[in-house]
Chain A
């Protein structure tokens, strides 16, 4: 599959009174046409900063992109000025934000907010844009769109507002859609509807989606591939099956183990001890070492490179080094791996 977006060795820092906060410390990944890449991680792991950097939305100062490039179909977005970026935002690259309550303009009719991008990027006339706005609202499943475009955001419920935000994001058929926790503020039943809607629209429009979330259940639902971030770096990258059924990084083990599954009983949840490191002074070695029960001496001294597990699967942990001792992942993770070995292997192919 062809790559639509490539991120190479991206570093983003923020200058604060306390010093330089290294929020993103060398992130590289590629996004293919029509796929959904999920980025998971805790708050402060740099997932939102990464995507803001892609959109050119890092406030500078205090932020700055120290190093690295973001190639959208070969063109480096980090080298563009604001005017060039404005032509790309909303047209080739658009974003859905977490909170539908605050990402819409409360003083503007919903229809006008959708038409804005169409008029600017696609040079439509107002009447054409209005027609298209009605179609878009219909597409995202809002009943009675003709009347609804003349209403204000406060007249919509949370789930309906998020549908409007999606309609705005998809208005100009973007090549890449970045969804930053689009369902976190919504109830589970509404969340399920929105996820369904996004997948459905993706099939129709062939948009590539970067989906940021901390909810592993949502990841399992939407993602083709998954990047796990910790302390400003990607620590594991693979297909959704790789990550859920054959995880290699101890942090991924911790994340998976700390979620209860509906069928397990009584056993204590596997909790990752401690808290994430302070990115003002990131540790010299593996940032996860201090919370990692499998940490070795080398983890404190040197950052692990990416080790290749399979064609699609990479993990940055010294445990994969040929000289590393064999370790047993936590019990709940072993169960996952076993289940996969028994049943998953045969079904793995049809998701490619």
Chain B
């Protein structure tokens, strides 16, 4: 994994107006980098803004404030059609629900080739067909599947089609928004293995959004924990699991049930109580240990520093 930044997210904000005077601050000041070739996992509970973050990065939503730099260039802001296309080719997304994210009226071939058509990547019909067949095989489907419709496939197979579609335009960066949570356990492992294999072969960078922490730990190099629209902790995945510092991360980790009865009998759960924080000043994102960032106040920062030893 290089230390070269592929995506830089700077003070990103996404607010939704829900009424004349009410605003939902779904994402409220997010700053983090994603390095080339890594998998960055984003976890948090439902409603914490993790999906909104993914969708704002790829500009499915226009950001309220802040910027997203991809290879040094801002994704947001005024852009003409050609400039947008360039980003759209480099960034792709895999969606959570494989039933809702594929057009039921299109054949698999047309679904996968849509990106090729838009970006003019296939010279002629034969090249288009060949590329689709190659993609189907890459994701573990048969080339005979190209002429079928989505309803003829199981959930796991559909998710593979979604992955093939994302890969069609040769992206550098893929945002996977809960790509496995709608799948059965045995199928989840197939899809995760496929994503890992593709990453190695094609040098992809992933933003992996999920709430299943054990899967996130397994697939990610670094993890960011979100709580109410803000990041509360970012660290290498091992470091985060061994040494969680923010009380919310601790409570989240203590709540994951593990497939180990002995561990479960002796587990200790922590409840997160936001009112226990030091309120003498606005918390800031600070680097407590190398590469380990925590949202904290100066007082808490000193305390976390002591806990490392």
Contacts and interface: CB of A to CB of B under 8 A. Distances in A.
Given A221-B264, A275-B154, A214 B185 contact: yes
Contact of A258 (B45, B189, B256, B258): B189
Given A42-B185, A255-B185, A268-B196, A262 B214 contact: yes
Interface string A252-276: 0011111111100000111111010
Contact of A216 (B157, B252, B254, B259): B259
A95 B8 CA distance: 49
Interface string A170-207: 00000000000000000111111001100000000000
Given A42-B186, A189-B252, A259 B261 contact: no
Given A188-B213, A255-B185, A220 B263 contact: yes
Contact of B255 (A189, A223, A258): A189
B115 to A, nearest CB: 27
Contact of A244 (B211, B215, B260): B260
Contact of B189 (A217, A270, A275): A270
Interface string B250-280: 0110111111111111010101100000000
A308 interface: no
A199 to B, nearest CB: 11
B147 interface: no
B243 to A, nearest CB: 13
Interface residues of A, number: 43
A241 interface: yes
Interface stretch (A76-84, A99-107, A343-351): A343-351
A234 to B, nearest CB: 17
Contacts of A295: none
A191 B187 CA distance: 23
Interface residues on B, range: 35 or more
A240 interface: yes
Contacts of A43: 184
A330 to B, nearest CB: 12
B298 interface: no
Interface in B239-255: 241, 251-252, 254-255
A300 interface: no
A262 B189 contact: no
A9 interface: no
A221 B257 contact: yes
A347 B262 contact: yes
Contacts of A271: 186-187, 189-190, 193
B286 interface: no
14 contacts: A188-B45, A189-B45, A189-B251, A214-B185, A215-B257, A220-B258, A244-B260, A254-B186, A255-B185, A258-B189, A268-B193, A269-B218, A275-B157, A347-B262
Given A188-B252, A189-B45, A217-B258, 8 more contacts: A42-B187, A189-B251, A190-B45, A221-B257, A254-B186, A259-B259, A261-B214, A351-B261
Interface of B: 45-46, 154, 156-157, 184-190, 192-193, 196, 211, 213-215, 217-218, 241, 251-252, 254-265, 267, 269, 271-272
